């Protein structure tokens, strides 16, 4: 009750101040009367009694202040008065306030924007129930030098039946399907899933139901779940869609449900889900071509789950037969083991390194902005020394003065935060628009509650950071010293100069760290551009995919004829100079790996020489501009006569036969049941995995060929067409191409229409994104650092006008004055560069994984940035130095 009474009394004092003051006057007056009455009884006159009581008790106003200061409301009143005074002081100097607020807004806005990304991508849990229980089930095969090996159907069946740590496990696989019978045919992204995937994620259907085990059983009726967007786009949100059928890859499938609006999984825009319907009776070992998600039992750790998977792997190998042609020793030597990771780690990937680097970069920008504003506040506080001394003389304590100065800093920070939030909103839109494709959860990024709270906390932090130096420096200056130094002195005192110099040095040092980081990324980007990717002029190469499902066309040779006919139709499109097709195009992510054994080489039991496989048609290398190093290209005669031939990459030729020409005539095959295939050509290396990755050792097979495990024909049904065209990337070209495809088969849509430049740029997206962001941060740092140095030198010159006038009057030449001022700026820049180089040597180590072709301690980058900063610093010093040389000694002395 006493606490409540104290609170209520404080509120009454705040909101009924006049009444409380009257009551206090009456109470103190009553005490005076009581003591005066006692003296009157002792024979003292009333007039003398009142005078004696007042002398004994002291001033009533002091007593009132003592009484008022005893409650919490006094602190509130003090803060309110200081707040109003701070607002008045900031409004009194609008120029200073605007410059300081905008400077802070740049730093705070950049930090808020990057934090919004980090909060959503790295800090916030995934939008599923109990996300900490979700894991991605991966494996590792050190014997094959494979760090991340996906899951297989054989593993899935055993893990689901015998796991001691999983509540459930599900498999899924990215897919693309043809939708026909609904206006124009369309190719859309799909996800093939087992029945457990959605329940594991805790997702329910917005409409209808999810898959059951019956739906996922082999031979069950064909069903499909639609995404919310596809349902709205194709059916207008019609709720009677449940039970209707749509044609998917030539098969009728019944719609059983609609996914939630916010369903995002696997980093793709999914249009529909299809049941995998895996058949255990036809399951073999191997086939690690699925991704897998599982939910751990409560309390189970990742280490326990890994141990459980390690226990089950031998059971998997005993439970299923080996595929035809695969040596059991191969699986044994692969040493397959568990490599589980949290689903959040799976989603985030390696983007956390980029984001934390960017957060550090914009953090440096904020520190530089704080140093800049700190310098402005120091200058402003020096001009207010007389005012602060008078306040101290009138009774204000050092703490009270320091608190009022800090409160002004906090008001500046709040104003900067408000402007920064506006800047962050715009910066975030730009950041999301330019973000690399691999940035996860990009649709969820926004300025939200945590971002606003972060901004408020940041404003408090920066107000203390840039406000504490002037607050404590000038609150503690003795009154007489302050009054004496507030006048113009002969020269600027050393202790007044030291704090500003330290702030300028810190700005230069932080700017150097950021510029070195940006410079390293520039050198990385340049090194990547200079890499030969294995093709030329990618902006002139248009690619797109066509899929011919088995349900639409069964015969492999007929599929090949359709694909060839489409190719010839495209050749007739205006502007197309060459065209070919393959299983995939470089850098598109649809790569396949397999074994290739040389005829005259001896292999140990279980050895598996893995190479990159690509099935291609004649003219593929000519269209890409990949050089033919030796031999010849494939021909249509090779294709239709089933000639057992192959083409290999230059890297494979050199690894096996030391010279490309020596590879010609050599024979390779995939398995003991495969035909020997003669190498008829060697082509240049192509960087399939990214410009920053080494080109893999590759084998190119004819696109229509006999199966590697038998003599039946096999064909690639999902093919990528590549055409070199003057109109590449234009909508008109793709309209003509679509008409050409439909002239062959009106049920075939085209998909993934991109230039090769798109995939090329995408492979460098992380580097270019990091470069852009660090470049912007470095530019801001350089600008703020130069402005800070210029301001410090200019202010120093203005305070030394009298001294400079005397020097000139005593015979100093303008060049002497110029050298003196520039020397001061050079010393500050030199100290900053020295400290910055030391800091950069430490901080750039965290960029190592983002660099290519250079080391984090690259001497050329460090030297270039150091010279740039010193040059800019000299220029910033030269301008006020020139002004100093024009000082008229008579005017300066008379002014003093």
Query: Residue 490: its pLDDT value, please?
Result: 42
Task: State the sign of the Cα–Cα–Cα–Cα dihedral 222, 223, 229, 230.
Answer: positive
Q: What residues contact 506, with CB distance under 8 A and at least 6 apart?
A: 367, 368, 371, 832, 835
pLDDT at 863 over 90: yes
In a domain, 242, yes or no: yes
CB 188 within 8 A of CB 246: no
Q: What is the pLDDT of residue 488?
A: 46
Residues 334 and 357 in one domain: no
Say yes or no: 330 and 376 in one domain: no
3-state secondary structure 652-716: HHHHHHCCHHHHCCCEEECCCCCCCEEEEEEECCCCCCCCCCCCCCEEEEECEEECCCCCCEEEC
pLDDT tens-digit series, residues 793-817: 777 666 666 666 666 666 667 777 7
pLDDT band at 7 (very low <50, low <70, confident <90, very high): low
Bigger pLDDT: 510 vs 475: 510
Please tell me whether residues 476 and 620 are part of one structural domain: no
Are 303 and 323 part of one and the same domain? yes
Q: Cβ distance 748 to 741 under 8 Å?
A: yes
Domain range for 845: 351-529+765-895
Predicted pLDDT of residue 692: 86
Structure confidence by residue, pLDDT tens digits, 639-665: 888 889 999 999 999 999 999 999 999
Residue 82 belongs to a domain: no
> Residue 604: what are its φ and ψ, rounded to 5°?
-70, 160
Q: Give me the helix-helix angle, 494-529 and 351-383, nearest 10°.
A: 160
- Is 821 inside a domain boundary? yes
What is the pLDDT averaged over residues 435-444? Answer: 75
Tell me the per-residue pLDDT of 79-106, one tens digit each, with 9 for 90 and over.
667 677 767 777 777 777 888 888 888 8
Per residue, the 3-state secondary structure of 210-243, as one string, reads: CCCCCCCCCCCCCEEEECHHHHHHHHCCCHHHCC
Same domain, 358 and 467: yes
Residues 598 and 693 in one domain: yes
758: in domain: no
Q: Which among 339, 367, 387 is the end of a domain?
A: 339
Measured CA to CA, the distance from residue 29 to residue 77 in angstroms comes to: 25
Q: Averaged over 667-690, what is the pLDDT?
A: 90
Distance CA 16, CA 4 (A): 18
8 belongs to a structural domain: yes
pLDDT of residue 453: 87
Nearest CA to 227 among 185, 188, 200, 195? 188
d(CA 319, CA 154): 8
Residue 282 DSSP one-character state: G
More confident residue, 295 or 287: 295
Report whether pLDDT(476) > 60. Answer: no
pLDDT tens for 491-508 read: 444 555 677 788 888 888
Cβ atoms of 768 and 205 closer than 8 Å: no
Q: Mean of the pLDDT values across residues 44-64?
A: 65
Is 90 exceeded by the pLDDT of residue 861? yes
Higher pLDDT, 731 or 58: 731
Window from 150-159, 382-391, 462-471 with minimum mean pLDDT: 382-391
- Residue 97 belongs to some domain of the structure: no
Q: How confident is the model at residue 480 (pLDDT cuts 50, 70, 90)?
A: very low
Q: How far apart are CA 739 and CA 731, in angstroms?
A: 13
- Burial of 787 from C-beta contacts in 10 A (0-12 / 13-18 / 19+): middle
Mean residue pLDDT across the chain: 83
- Residue 487 has what pLDDT? 47
**Whether the predicted pLDDT of 195 surpasses 90:** yes
Q: How far apart are CA 893 and CA 896, in angstroms?
A: 5
**Contact, 205 vs 257, CB < 8 A?**
yes
| pLDDT given for residue 366 in this prediction | 86
> What percent of the chain has a predicted confidence (pLDDT) above 70?
81
CA pair distance 896, 889, nearest whole angstrom: 10
Q: Going by DSSP bridges, is the β-strand pair 751-755/541-547 parallel, antiparallel, or unpaired?
A: antiparallel
Distance CA 227, CA 260 (A): 7
Residues 741 and 771 in one domain: no
For 660, how many CA atoms within 13 A lie in the half-sphere containing its CB?
17
- As a whole number, mean pLDDT of residues 522-547 equals 91
Q: Are residues 314 and 372 in the same domain?
A: no
User: Would you place residue 4 in the very low, low, confident or very high pLDDT band (cuts 50, 70, 90)?
Assistant: low
**pLDDT, position 491:** 44
Does the residue 520 lie in any domain? Answer: yes
Residue 671 Ramachandran class (φ > 0 left, ψ -120 to 50 alpha, else beta): beta
Alpha-carbon radius of gyration of the chain: 38
Average pLDDT over residues 257-263: 91
CA angle (343 as vertex; 261, 203 as ends), nearest 5:
30
Q: What is the pLDDT of residue 724?
A: 95
CA angle (372, 374, 379) in 5-degree steps: 100
Question: Which tokens in the block code for residue 113?
Answer: 């924007």
Mean pLDDT of 260-276: 86
* Residue that is last in its domain, among 713, 747, 781: 747
pLDDT at residue 1, as a whole number = 40
Same domain, 788 and 830: yes
Question: What's the pLDDT score for residue 19?
Answer: 63
Q: Do 185 and 323 belong together in one domain? A: yes
Pairing assessment for the beta strands 704-706 and 713-715 based on DSSP bridges: antiparallel
**Cβ within 8 Å of residue 753, ≥6 positions away:** 542, 543, 544, 734, 737
Closest-CA residue to 224 (of 242, 206, 202, 236): 242
Q: How many domains does the chain have?
A: 4
* 490 and 523 share one domain: yes
pLDDT tens digits, residue range 869-879? 888 888 888 77
User: What are the residues facing 207 on neighbouring strands?
Assistant: 258
| 288-304: average pLDDT | 94
Cα(602)–Cα(255) distance, rounded to whole angstroms? 55
296 and 161 in a common domain:
yes
Q: Among the three residues 339, 374, 391, which one is the final residue of a domain in this structure?
A: 339
Assess if residue 578 is contained within a domain. Answer: yes
Q: What is the three-state SS of 94-125?
A: HHHHHHHHHHHHHHHHHHHHHHHHHHHHHHCC
Of the two residues 484 and 520, the one the predictor is more confident about is 520
């Amino acid at each position: 009750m006493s606490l409540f009474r104290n609170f209520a009394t404080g509120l009454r004092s705040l909101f009924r101040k006049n009444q409380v003051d009257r009551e206090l006057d009456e109470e103190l007056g009553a005490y005076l009367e009581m003591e005066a009455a006692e003296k009157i009884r002792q024979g003292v006159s009333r007039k003398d009694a009142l005078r004696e009581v007042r002398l004994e008790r002291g001033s009533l106003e002091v007593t009132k202040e003592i009484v008022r200061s005893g409650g919490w409301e006094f602190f509130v009143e003090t803060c309110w008065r200081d707040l109003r005074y701070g607002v008045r002081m900031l409004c009194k100097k609008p120029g200073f306030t605007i410059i300081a607020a905008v400077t802070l807004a740049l730093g705070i806005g950049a930090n808020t924007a990057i934090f919004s990304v980090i909060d959503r991508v790295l800090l916030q849990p995934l939008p599923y129930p109990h996300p900490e229980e979700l894991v991605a089930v991966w494996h590792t095969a050190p014997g094959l030098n494979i760090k991340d090996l996906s899951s297989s159907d054989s593993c899935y069946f055993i893990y689901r039946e015998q796991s001691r740590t999983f509540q459930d496990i599900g498999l899924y696989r990215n897919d693309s399907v043809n939708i026909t019978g609904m206006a124009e045919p369309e190719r859309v992204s799909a996800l093939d899933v087992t029945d457990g995937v959605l329940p594991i994620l805790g997702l329910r259907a917005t409409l209808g139901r999810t898959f059951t085990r019956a739906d996922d059983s082999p031979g069950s009726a064909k069903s499909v779940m639609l995404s919310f967007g596809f349902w709205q786009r194709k059916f207008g949100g019609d709720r009677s869609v449940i039970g209707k059928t749509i044609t998917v890859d030539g098969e009728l499938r019944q719609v059983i449900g609609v996914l939630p609006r916010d369903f995002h999984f696997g980093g793709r825009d999914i249009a529909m889900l299809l049941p995998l319907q895996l058949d255990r009776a036809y399951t073999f070992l191997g086939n690690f071509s699925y991704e897998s998600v599982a939910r751990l039992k409560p309390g189970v750790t990742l280490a326990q789950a890994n141990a459980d998977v390690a226990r089950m792997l031998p059971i998997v190998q005993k439970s299923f037969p080996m595929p035809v042609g695969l040596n059991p020793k191969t699986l044994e030597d692969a040493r397959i083991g568990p490599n589980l990771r949290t689903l959040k780690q799976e989603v985030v990937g390696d983007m956390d390194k980029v984001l934390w680097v960017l957060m550090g970069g914009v953090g440096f920008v904020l520190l530089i902005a704080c140093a800049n504003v700190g310098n402005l506040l120091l200058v402003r506080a020096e001009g207010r020394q007389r005012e602060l001394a008078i306040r101290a003389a009138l009774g204000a304590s050092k703490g009270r003065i320091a608190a009022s100065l800090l409160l002004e800093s906090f008001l500046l920070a709040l104003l900067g935060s408000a402007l920064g939030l506006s800047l962050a909103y715009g910066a975030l839109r730009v950041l999301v628009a330019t973000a690399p494709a691999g940035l996860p959860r990009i649709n969820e990024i926004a300025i939200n509650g945590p971002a606003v709270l972060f901004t408020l906390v940041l404003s408090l932090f920066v107000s203390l950071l840039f406000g504490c130096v002037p607050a404590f420096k000038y609150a503690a200056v003795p009154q007489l010293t302050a009054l004496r130094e507030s006048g113009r002195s002969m020269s600027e005192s050393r202790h007044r100069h030291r704090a500003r110099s330290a702030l300028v040095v810190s700005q230069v040092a932080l700017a150097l760290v950021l510029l070195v980081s940006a410079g390293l990324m520039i050198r990385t980007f340049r090194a990547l551009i200079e890499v030969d990717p294995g093709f030329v002029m990618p902006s002139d190469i248009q690619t797109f995919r066509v899929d011919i499902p088995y349900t639409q066309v069964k015969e492999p040779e007929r599929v090949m004829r359709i694909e060839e006919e489409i190719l010839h139709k495209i050749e007739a499109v205006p502007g197309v100079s060459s065209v070919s097709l393959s299983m995939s195009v470089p850098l598109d992510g649809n790569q396949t790996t397999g074994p290739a054994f040389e005829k005259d080489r001896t292999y140990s039991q279980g050895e598996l020489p893995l190479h990159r496989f690509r099935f291609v048609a004649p003219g593929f290398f000519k269209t890409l501009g990949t050089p033919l190093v030796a031999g010849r290209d494939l021909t249509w005669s090779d294709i239709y006569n089933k000639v057992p031939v192959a083409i290999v990459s230059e890297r494979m030729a050199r690894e096996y036969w030391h010279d490309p020409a020596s590879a010609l005539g050599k024979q390779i095959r995939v398995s003991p049941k495969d035909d020997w295939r003669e190498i008829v050509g060697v082509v240049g290396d192509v960087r399939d995995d990214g410009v920053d990755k080494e080109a893999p050792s590759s084998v190119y097979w004819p696109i229509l060929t006999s199966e590697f495990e038998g003599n039946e024909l096999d064909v690639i049904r999902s093919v990528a067409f590549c055409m070199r065209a003057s109109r590449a990337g234009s909508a008109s070209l793709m309209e003509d191409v679509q008409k050409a495809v439909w002239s062959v088969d009106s049920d075939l849509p085209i998909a993934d229409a991109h230039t090769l430049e798109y995939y090329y740029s995408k492979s460098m997206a992380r580097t270019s994104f990091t470069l852009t962001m660090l470049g912007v941060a470095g530019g801001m740092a350089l600008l703020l650092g130069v402005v800070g140095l210029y301001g410090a030198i200019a202010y120093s010159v203005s305070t030394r006008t009298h001294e400079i006038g005397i020097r000139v009057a005593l015979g100093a030449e303008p060049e002497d004055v110029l050298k003196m001022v520039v020397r001061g700026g050079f010393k500050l820049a030199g100290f900053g560069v020295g400290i910055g180089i030391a800091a950069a040597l430490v901080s750039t180590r965290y960029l190592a994984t983002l660099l290519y072709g250079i080391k984090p301690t690259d001497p050329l980058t460090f030297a270039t940035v150091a010279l740039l900063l010193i040059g800019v610093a000299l220029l910033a010093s030269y301008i006020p130095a020139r002004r100093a040389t024009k000082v008229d000694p008579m005017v300066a002395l008379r002014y003093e």
